């Protein structure tokens, strides 16, 4: 898979034509792409393949083109699933299948992938349409997660599975750490059930700060239990901040700590 010969040759040549040939990107774009390559630890030989992996549907639609990163995302999803399964199998030799499946689901979930994409600076490298750009698309979790999977797919197309492992495995290490701090969709429900079982008042979520322009708002929420602030979280929406604050409060209650910052 590393060369242009064989079955990938025609595909890569067609790809160059579809995204504008071998033109050199502008200096700013080239610097952004280089930073992203440095972050993932892989340098693309075919720059057009990297560009395709960063091209959102909105960018292609506004230019009347059909090609975007969705096919690479489809492939990258499978590559990620395989490498994550292999990594978990080796890392946790004593865990049964059910536990391994749950951990894999966490690792490849949209919140974890979006957080990884954000840390890698993926948002700045994406090609987005004007409308998507104005609506804050560079920080949308769904776009970041999809773009990261497309990036994995592009590495696999160009260099195969071993190169994909070298890119994905270090991110799985970081993803496992991130998954601990990311809220599950039912964190608020679980917290409510816990405090009710203990006879306490229902949790109270208080908005303590709202910052940033309309398209990049950040909301800080405190979770109060038993008349005390137990944890605080900042997110792009109030609902997400409440869920994260609830998740942190659950860990605090389990560990016996009390700190508004979680």
Q: Which residue matches tokens 């696999």? A: 156
Q: Which two tokens stand for residue 28?
A: 């700013």
CB 122 within 8 A of CB 144: yes
Mapped onto helix, strand or coil, the DSSP state of residue 55 is: strand
CB 149 within 8 A of CB 77: yes
Q: How far apart are CA 251 and CA 17, in angstroms?
A: 52
Q: Among 248, 249, 259, which residue's Cα sits nearest to residue 225?
A: 249
Q: Given 77, 146, 235, 242, which residue is catalytic?
A: 77
The verdict on whether 149 is a catalytic residue reads yes
CB 100 within 8 A of CB 89: yes
Q: Given 149, 222, 235, 242, which residue is catalytic?
A: 149
> Mind telling me the catalytic residues?
77, 149
């Amino acid at each position: 898979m590393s060369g242009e010969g064989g079955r990938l040759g025609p595909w890569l040549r067609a790809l160059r034509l579809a995204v504008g040939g071998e033109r050199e990107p502008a200096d700013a774009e080239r610097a952004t792409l280089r930073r992203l390559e440095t972050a993932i630890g892989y340098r693309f030989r075919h720059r057009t393949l990297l560009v395709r992996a960063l091209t959102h549907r909105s960018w292609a639609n506004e230019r009347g083109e059909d090609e975007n990163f969705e096919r690479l995302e489809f492939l990258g999803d499978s590559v990620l699933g395989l490498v994550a399964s292999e990594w978990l199998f080796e890392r946790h030799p004593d865990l049964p299948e059910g536990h391994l499946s749950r951990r894999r689901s966490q690792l490849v979930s949209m919140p974890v992938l979006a957080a990884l994409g954000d840390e890698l600076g993926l948002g700045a490298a994406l090609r987005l349409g004007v409308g998507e750009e104005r609506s804050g698309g560079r920080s949308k979790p769904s776009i970041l997660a999809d773009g990261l999977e497309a990036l994995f797919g592009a590495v696999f197309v160009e260099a195969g599975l071993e190169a994909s492992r070298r890119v994905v495995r270090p991110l799985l290490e970081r993803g496992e750490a991130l998954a601990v701090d990311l809220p599950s969709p039912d964190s608020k429900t679980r917290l409510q059930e816990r405090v009710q079982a203990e006879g306490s008042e229902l949790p109270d979520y208080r908005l303590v700060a709202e910052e940033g322009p309309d398209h990049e708002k950040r909301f800080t929420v405190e979770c109060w239990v038993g008349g005390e602030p137990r944890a605080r979280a900042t997110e792009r929406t109030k609902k997400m901040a409440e869920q994260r604050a609830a998740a942190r409060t659950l860990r605090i209650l389990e560990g016996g700590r009390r700190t508004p910052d979680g």
